[in-house]
């Protein structure tokens, strides 16, 4: 089983096309922001 690199903690903000979440690196404890961008239909 593959270990997860980041643990998502909570949502920082959202807009029309993306959601930004706070996450923690499971090995180093470093906090990062991850932006999830919605893909359009093609």
pLDDT averaged per 10 residues in sequence order, the chain, 42 residues: 89 96 97 93 68
Q: Which pLDDT value is given to residue 42?
A: 64
Q: Which of 21, 19, 40, 16 is nearest to 7 (CA)?
A: 21
Number of domains in the chain: 1
Q: Is the separation of the CB atoms in 19 and 37 below 8 Å?
A: no
Q: Which pLDDT value is given to residue 11?
A: 98
Both tokens of residue 26?
């499971």
- Domain of residue 11, residue span: 1-27
Please report whether residue 13 resides in a domain: yes
Please report whether residue 42 resides in a domain: no
Q: Is 35 annotated as a binding residue?
A: yes
């Amino acid at each position: 089983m593959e270990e997860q690199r980041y643990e998502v903690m909570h949502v920082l903000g959202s807009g029309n096309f993306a959601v930004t979440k706070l996450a923690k690196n499971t090995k180093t404890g470093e906090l990062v922001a991850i932006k999830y961008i919605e893909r359009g239909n093609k």
